[in-house]
Chain A
Amino acid sequence: MAKAIQQIDIQQATAEEQQHKDIAALMTQIADNKQSISSMLEIIEQLEATGALDIMKGFLSAREKIGTIAVEQINQPNIHHTIKNTFYALGFVGHVEPEKLRTMLESVQHGIESASSHAEKTEKTNLWGLMKSLRDPHVVTALSTMVSFLNGMGKELEEKGDSH
């Protein structure tokens, strides 16, 4: 005896009721995680006190603008160079054997110390004195190391020149 009907009474306290339901569910969740939530609140308090929150707020609300500016700044030739050079420098450092580098760096350190004490002395070194110092075995070692270095570098430069 039932005619076709289309009207459906949706119990429309829905918005409010739904909110109540959601809040109730949240409350349970909060109660279940009391310790972690109160720690989090303390952290937020500190962030607020130091003004960090304010900075973050500003940053987030302008995120698209800042993103654009940042990317624009990064997308410049000199920054490209910086980034690239960083990669190369890192690559260089990565390739050198640590022990060798240590010896070299320590030698350089000694060299610097000796050089600066020499500079402090203010007395002039004449040509004779310079020639004399070439007999010094330390100087000879340093110089022959330098020559080997130049040799290696020259070879590499030559190869690169060929291939270009």
Chain B
Amino acid sequence: MVMKKVTISINGQEIEATEGQSIFEAARDNDIYMPGICASQPDLGVGVIQTCDTCFVDVNGKLERSCSTTVEQGMKVTDNSDKVKEAQLEGMSRILENHELYCTVCDNNNGDCVVHNTAEHLQVNHQKYPFTPKPYTADNTHPFYRYEPDQCILCGLCVEACQDLQVSEVLTIDWERKEPRVIWDNDVPIDQSSCVSCGHCVSVCPCNALMEKSMLGEAGYLTKMPKNILEPMIDVTKEVEPGYSGIFAISNVEAAMRESRIDKTKTVCTYCGVGCSFEVWTKGREILKVQPHPEAPANGISTCVKGKFGWDFVNSEERLKTPLIRKGDKFVEATWDEALSLVAEKLQGIKQENGSDALGFIASSKCTNEENYLMQKMARQIFQTNNIDNCSRYCQTPASAGLMRTVGIGGDSGTIEDIAAAELIIVVGANPEESHPVLATRIKRAHKLHNQKLVVADLRKNGLAERADLHLHPKPGTDLVWITAVAKYMIDQGWEAKEFLSERVNNVEEYMASLDKFTLEYAESVTGLTQDTMKKVAEMIHESTATCILWAMGVTQHMGGTDTSTSIANLLLVTGNFGKRGTGAYPLRGHNNVQGASDFGTMPNFFPGYEAVDDDTIRSRYEKAWETQLPKEPGLNNHEIVAAIHKGSVKGVYLFGEEMGLVDSNINYVHEAFEKLDFFVVQDIFFSKTAQYADVVLPAAPSLEKEGTFTNTERRIQKLNKVMEPLGDSKPDWEIFQELANKLGADWNYQSPGEIMVEAASLAPAFAGVDYQRLEGWDSLVWPVDKDGQDHPLLYEKEFAFPDGKAKLFPVDWTPPYEAGEGYNLHLNNGRILEHFHEGNMTYQSDGISHKVPNPWLEVSPELARERNIETGALVRLTSPYGKVKLRVWVTDQVKGNELYLPMNTRKEIEAVNKLTSSYHDKDTHTPNYKEMQVKMELLEAKGESPIVVGNFRLGNPQPQVGVRVSEKWGRKDFTPIPELIEKEGLFDGQSDTAN
């Protein structure tokens, strides 16, 4: 889309602007500074809110807000006339009535305070309207941020961000009261509101009204001053001030001094597959705050509670700081040399005695691309085995396999922008609002403001389902049936994309023939959905010109996970929803680098870039580069490695960055396998459950302590930079691999992760153009990346990733889910919650997060609770054929009938869902069928404390509205529009820096 250009003049200077832009944006794009506090952040994704009134300009002789006036050809804009200056100054004076300037002793005085900078630009010298405190005290109840009404300028950026960007709909400004303020829910303390702690409001606040508590008293040189000195000092300053210019001069010096001790380092979040990037502000090892940036490609200024506030674990006392070696029944500390020599000797010994394939390597989707690349290189080059896999085996391999069958590339077809631009979003078996929070905000925003339609198919009425135009609740494990029935119904109606199918898709006939059995009647009987519901879905897809389907573990963690993923791709192909903006298939990757770990070759059958290990041409490329013969046969995957340990054929395992002892299914069986190993190396940042079985534990460094790249769910490669040095003797994983490899005589010599990427890019065509120089700052690359650096955010525009460029419809059939048998009468659903990551080794280290969610719970439907006479707080035991757990109940209508939901986030075995799950798995990829289990429930204690504690957002009471409702401000009796006031008062003072 090419936007038309228009020419306007600003202060007589001709500039080019894009049609549809505001004057404010046009000026900014031409490097002309215009004041505008609430408009100063138009890239935030927050709308034009018109609350601050500091951006008035003269447009063809009339005073207008530059933020809300659209450019027109030939428009004449002035912002340097006396009248304009007077108007802008009036706006600023009204702001300063609400905001006390004590910049030098303010923690927000970091050079980027918008209120400070605007006041300084306008040369405000005195307060026209004296500052008066509001009749409210500061709200310090929330563990992570505070609200100070006395500093709040009522610009409403926070409200806008909460209502329309994050769409949690917690904040409003009550314009009705005499002294308006921001309120949470229906005016409750912040901690008791429905606030999800995403931090949007704090990140957009243009002053110090909303601030991270970690900044308070820490950012400035003088801000730690005791109150009894600070307050009179502010009084003195105000009393004697020679005008604000002096204050600004001093505060600017102080702000400049802060730069010498506060580091701001860009990193990429590790808490899910969205791939948020942001700056981490640190003073030594102390994290002052996480500051997102409008230019961040995946998230802009968005974050969730974990990314914004969940980093305490890096300084945890529990971090592993030295290598540990098992001696008898305890671990003793060792030097790196001792530990690595032992690892080298033992693994080499097993290889010599039992062959290469007696070793297994388990890589980490939490670690970098470079580290995964090195781990697979070590397994293949040094130990001569393809027995290497990563945890995408637990979640998303079926999705990748389904896409490789049909469209050729195992990744999202487009980016988050496409998801936001789609006319229809269908979410199947996923809970993005909690598992991919920032991605979910884009859907919620498009649905709330831009007419996007939303269909959610999920057992639970989760956050998105609550908002959806249509919520489907099929019987567990039957998604393939309704999806295929919808495809068949659409073809029967003649609604298929005929041209698309004939020109771009193979195998159409064979696929059509396979559909016979998937009638609406059949689907109704299997899924429990009514025929009308399925017809409605078909109609919605038919009426939409751009549909995206998003799915996650509700689809993949089944015995037919790959087939269901395939059926989704089939439906999208039948309806022509690939290769154009706003369309495509989006398997939502769970962890930060699920995509990248597989991309960079920690898979038993693939080299980096999904090139088959048994292809002689490809393998010889690696053999030449690594100067050795490489094994041809694909190796064992995670699941097969565990089985092989039980069988006795695998005797040594090297695992890094994976809590396999809690997150693999059927953990009792996994623990027994660990016990059988001759030698087990675990590399982690914490002494995990898995580490308890290790012979050597190696202390690794988390993302904040190293450099590298992650690849998010969009296939977007982003660089993370080292924020701080590794704690104690811990080391980045890539350094550990290199030292071990060199103990084994490999003679690797990578000076930095960048050099590892150079090697990977030279070998894997998909990453040919990946180079750290192209990943500086906020730059990123969405693979495939051509040699010249051209990347491909939207796939399949011209051709699909098969030799003839055509996609392939792939007939699939339904695999009935696992049945636990007689007496196991409740379905056990499971997954994540917003606040915690994975088993919680990292997030439970945050006091604030643990205050909000100290423990998991069991969700029970009101129907079942009535039937069993159970109430919230009751303690129950769940039993499956594989194990038992014990938890407290939360009765909620998020779950229906005999379906239970158990969050996976716990470090205690007695609460761990995987005590209950089985070792059955997807028939094609061996991903465990976590979502297919039934249990018995016994009541142990009828009453008890609710597991959902005060502070949990789920107890809140959101107040949805669109934006900040500035019209209510304008309707107040004490509000006079600034142009009106200027006309009335006349030009009494043209010199804004004159005191009076």
Contacts and interface: CB of A to CB of B under 8 A. Distances in A.
Given A2-B675, A74-B232, A75-B236, 8 more contacts: A1-B677, A2-B674, A2-B695, A4-B692, A7-B329, A75-B235, A80-B236, A87-B240
B324 A75 contact: no
B677 A83 contact: no
A136 B98 CA distance: 64
Given A67-B229, A68-B229, A87-B242, A9 B332 contact: yes
B228 A68 contact: yes
B229 A7 contact: no
Give the secondary structure class of B's interface: mixed
Given A4-B693, A8-B330, A9-B332, A71 B229 contact: yes
Interface in B311-357: 324, 326, 329-333
B935 to A, nearest CB: 25
Interface string B679-696: 010000001010011110
Interface in B952-976: none
A80 B240 contact: yes
Interface of B: 226, 228-229, 232-233, 235-236, 239-240, 242, 324, 326, 329-333, 671, 674-678, 680, 687, 689, 692-695, 996
B333 A1 contact: no
B219 to A, nearest CB: 21
9 contacts: A1-B675, A4-B693, A5-B330, A5-B692, A6-B692, A8-B333, A11-B333, A68-B228, A75-B235
A161 B676 CA distance: 98
A87 B243 CA distance: 11
Contacts, number: 72
B331 A5 contact: yes
Contacts of B329: 3, 5, 7
Interface in A66-94: 67-68, 71-72, 74-75, 80, 83-84, 87, 91
B671 A4 contact: yes
Given A68-B229, A75-B232, A9 B240 contact: no
B216 to A, nearest CB: 19
Contacts of B331: 5, 7-9
Given A71-B233, A80-B236, A7 B330 contact: yes
Contacts of A67: 226, 229
Nearest to B235: A75
Contacts of A9: 330-333
A62 interface: no
A10 interface: yes
A8 B680 CA distance: 17
A97 interface: no
A84 B243 CA distance: 11
Nearest to B242: A87
Nearest to B328: A5
List the 3 closest pairs (A to B, CB-CB), nearest first. A4-B692, A7-B330, A83-B240
Nearest to A66: B229
Interface residues of A, number: 24
A95 to B, nearest CB: 14
B693 A64 contact: no
Choose among B326, B333, B680 the residue with the greatest number of A CB atoms under 10 Å from its CB: B333
A2 B324 contact: no
Contacts of A6: 687, 692
Interface of A: 1-11, 64, 67-68, 71-72, 74-75, 80, 83-84, 87, 91, 163
A2 to B, nearest CB: 6
Contacts of B996: 163
B673 to A, nearest CB: 11
A3 B672 CA distance: 9
Contacts of B674: 2, 4
Contacts of B326: 2, 5
Contacts of A7: 329-331
Given A5-B330, A9-B333, A64-B226, A71 B232 contact: yes
B374 to A, nearest CB: 26
Contact of A8 (B228, B242, B324): B324
Contacts of B671: 4
A38 to B, nearest CB: 28
Contacts of B689: 4
Contacts of B235: 75
Contacts of B675: 1-4
Contacts of A3: 329, 675, 693
A133 B539 CA distance: 113
Nearest to A14: B333
Contacts of A8: 324, 330-333, 687
Nearest to B327: A9
Contact of B232 (A10, A72, A83, A84): A72
A109 B693 CA distance: 96
Contacts of A91: 242
A8 B235 CA distance: 56
A102 B324 CA distance: 82
Nearest to A11: B333
Contacts of A75: 232, 235-236, 239
A2 B236 contact: no
B323 to A, nearest CB: 11
Nearest to B230: A71
Contacts of B676: 1
Contacts of B236: 71, 74-75, 80, 83
Nearest to A67: B229
Contacts of A5: 326, 329-331, 692
Nearest to A75: B232
A74 B235 CA distance: 10
B780 to A, nearest CB: 40
A1 B693 CA distance: 9
A91 B239 CA distance: 17
Nearest to A71: B232
Contacts of B240: 80, 83-84, 87
A2 B229 contact: no
Choose among A5, A9, A11, A84 the residue with the greatest number of B CB atoms under 10 Å from its CB: A5
Contacts of A2: 326, 674-675, 677, 680, 693-695
A1 B240 CA distance: 78
Nearest to B225: A67
A17 to B, nearest CB: 12
A64 B674 CA distance: 59
B229 A80 contact: no
Nearest to B697: A8
B319 to A, nearest CB: 13
A58 B21 CA distance: 63
A7 to B, nearest CB: 4
A1 B242 contact: no
A64 B4 CA distance: 64
A71 B225 CA distance: 12
A145 to B, nearest CB: 30
Nearest to B689: A4
Contact of B333 (A10, A71, A80, A87): A10
Contacts of A64: 226, 229
Nearest to A70: B229
Choose among B233, B240, B677, B687 the residue with the greatest number of A CB atoms under 10 Å from its CB: B240
Nearest to A81: B240
A1 B236 CA distance: 73
Contacts of A74: 232, 236
Choose among A3, A4, A74 the residue with the greatest number of B CB atoms under 10 Å from its CB: A4
